[in-house]
Chains A and B, each alone.
Chain A
Amino acid sequence: MKKTVDVSIPIGPVHPCFKEPARVKCETRGEYVLSAECELGYMKKGIELIMRGRPWQEVMFLAERICGICSVIHNMVFIEALEKISDIPVPERGALLRVIVNELDRIQSHILANFSYCYTIEHETLGMYLLDIRESAMDELERITGARVTCAYIVPGGVRFDLRDEDAVHLRASLDIIERDMKRYIRMFEGGPLIALRSKDVGVLTKESAKEAHAVGPTARASGMPETDMRLHHPTYQKLNFKPVFRTEGDNFARIMVRFEEIMQSIDLIRRCLDMLRPGPIRGGGIPSAGETVYRGEAPRGELSYYLKTDDAGRIVDISVQTPSIMNIEACTHYMLKGVASLADVPSTFISADPCIACTER
């Protein structure tokens, strides 16, 4: 059959549903989307060019400003790459505190992604409930690290501040509140008939196409690929017996549900970390040295990898960052959006892949 295109509809860069500027061009026949394309380039700042030739003390702060939503994991992966180059040991308490902060960051990022989805399908009530519970996670981040967004908590050889006993008590209480409320919201999302109409069987990404597109993170795990979770290769997570969650449907509903289940799993991980915490040093010594490495970590959106090359003085000679969103945007525009029945589902499908444009373009 000859492909006939009625009209080409651009969505963005400034759109009520998009948090960040990106342009999705959809070629449609009637309401049926034949193909879609994502146009980027509104946010290119050239962070990697700024990073080259600077000492690690400065690059550390630049690295967490690659992305404001998942700043902790950028900080963590950069510092752990530096530690891998220079063989800096991390005390056990420091490693567990890193996991606690990282999982808190994952909770708030996943809640924000699910809020955006609920807001896009016009279920504002659930969106506001989620945004309200997100503030509890942000409070705990601020209590532990001292800042809401860009906290620079992880430093070579450990972490910056210790977790006080009263903070641990407060953290457990907040986790109980988050868990109690999230259970209710998950029931709301699972049982809502209108949500199911807007989400189930919309924007399906099969396992084969997810592999072809190299999808990562919750997007890949919703299509039945649990092995994409990079936390499986992290020593601290291996000690915690981490098992990734996954679903096999691959539609919008599955992607949101995977995020909800990961929030519950993160709460569980933080609790186990708190149980394992023993008094001890939080920061060992060590001097960054020359070397070259590639290091991977699991950001809230998927696999994040840093290529890093340093010299003797601890300056960054070369750095290259690969963020998860670029893979998911490709998977979204080329596989999910193809064959979406209605143009109204295009923004919600795009948001369900949780694209982070600031990460993607840097």
Chain B
Amino acid sequence: MSILQSFKNLVRSRSIHVAYVDVGSCNGCDIEVLACLAPRYDIEQYGIYVHNNPREADILLVIGAYTPGWEDKLQGLWEKIPDPKVAIAIGNCPISGCVFNRPHSYVNPPVSKHIPIAAQVPGCPPRPTEILQAVLSLAPEVFKDYERRKR
């Protein structure tokens, strides 16, 4: 492993930018992601920075059951995120549609049909600690030796 690669590994393990996108949820998972910011859970002590800007994100948290309003937009948003990137589905909605996946509703779950999803956190809504654990356990696996694996 080159020195540059090990340096990148070190930096990436302590600097993760998170963006979240709500594609049609009830808001419950949204505020649980926000609650991760609270000093009690303190997501920033692990070097995770929640800033809702896809251009500088490493991890995209997808919340919600995919409504028609997001038809091409979610794909476009996913392409705007620079590599290496990974998407995590938060809550039951992106996994199965939860209560909204019923006859006559407009939603089109799961989100993994539209963008690649690396991990799923079930729950309606999941607790902030579960979201935190998912981000922390996934990030090192995905970003480690990214350039070497790409070759």
Contacts and interface: CB of A to CB of B under 8 A. Distances in A.
Interface of A: 13-21, 41-47, 49-50, 52, 61-62, 65-69, 71, 112, 115, 128, 131-132, 134-135, 138, 148-150, 356-359
A39 B50 CA distance: 25
A69 B27 contact: yes
Given A16-B51, A69-B31, 6 more contacts: A19-B34, A21-B21, A50-B104, A131-B35, A132-B39, A149-B32
Contacts of B105: 45-47, 49-50
A148 B127 contact: yes
Contacts of A13: 73
A65 B99 contact: yes
A47 B54 CA distance: 29
Contact of B53 (A16, A67, A138): A16
B67 A45 contact: yes
Contact of B26 (A15, A65, A134): A65
B44 to A, nearest CB: 10
A42 B106 contact: no
B26 A20 contact: no
Contacts of B21: 14, 21
Interface in B51-71: 51-54, 64-65, 67-70
Contacts of A138: 35
Contacts of A149: 28, 31-32, 125
B127 A43 contact: no
Interface residues of B, number: 43
B124 interface: yes
A20 B22 contact: yes
B107 interface: yes
A54 to B, nearest CB: 9
Interface string B80-102: 00000000000000000011101
B110 interface: no
Main secondary structure of the interface of B (DSSP, over half): loop
Nearest first, the 6 A-B pairs at minimum CB distance are: A68-B28, A68-B27, A358-B27, A42-B69, A49-B104, A131-B38
Nearest to B69: A42
Given A16-B53, A20-B22, A131 B28 contact: no
Given A46-B106, A49-B104, A50-B105, A68 B52 contact: no
A358 B52 contact: no
Nearest to B32: A149
Contacts of A61: 99
B52 A14 contact: yes
20 contacts: A16-B51, A16-B53, A19-B31, A41-B69, A42-B67, A43-B25, A44-B106, A45-B105, A45-B107, A46-B106, A46-B107, A49-B104, A49-B105, A68-B25, A115-B34, A131-B35, A135-B40, A356-B27, A358-B22, A358-B30
A127 B22 CA distance: 22
B11 interface: no
B38 A16 contact: no
Given A47-B100, A67-B27, A69-B31, A150 B125 contact: yes
Contacts of A150: 26, 28, 124-125
Nearest to A19: B30
B64 to A, nearest CB: 8
A65 B107 CA distance: 15
B115 to A, nearest CB: 14
B31 A20 contact: no
Contacts of A16: 51-53
